[in-house]
Amino acid sequence: MNGAGDQMAWIKPLGETDGELLVELGGELDISTAAALQEQLAAALAAGPRKVIFELRDVTFIDSSGLAVLLSARRRVEQVELRYAAPAIRRVIELAGLGATLKIVS
């Protein structure tokens, strides 16, 4: 899937500059979409960026499987930054105790 109106999750790498990969995520990041997202994310990380910036404005739901996808990126790069997360998404990340690992900046 690749549109903001879709219920399934989607990933869209927006480009890499100076070792920073910008990735837009959207839809529902859950157990039914995690494997496909993980596969697409692995392909996006193949170039070996040092930092990944996830734009989450179109993420409507995240569960532990979705968090695992974000954490897998964190294990492969020096830093992960989350931008434009909705309050409900921020709350899940904070309740999971991942606020320091998955840095929310805006």
CATH of residue 59's domain is: 3.30.750.24
Structural domain count, the chain: 1
For residue 33, what are its two tokens? 């979409």
Domain annotation covers residue 44:
yes
Contact indicator for 29, 56 with CB cutoff of 8 Å: no
Domain, as residue range, for 74: 10-104
Residues 21-79 have pLDDT tens digits of 999 999 999 999 999 999 999 998 998 999 999 999 999 999 999 999 999 999 999 99
Domain annotation covers residue 40:
yes
Domain annotation covers residue 1:
no
What does residue 57 show for φ and ψ, rounded to 5 degrees? Answer: -55, -30
Domain annotation covers residue 84:
yes
For residue 21, what are its two tokens? 């990969």
Under the banding of pLDDT at 50, 70 and 90, the label for residue 106 is confident
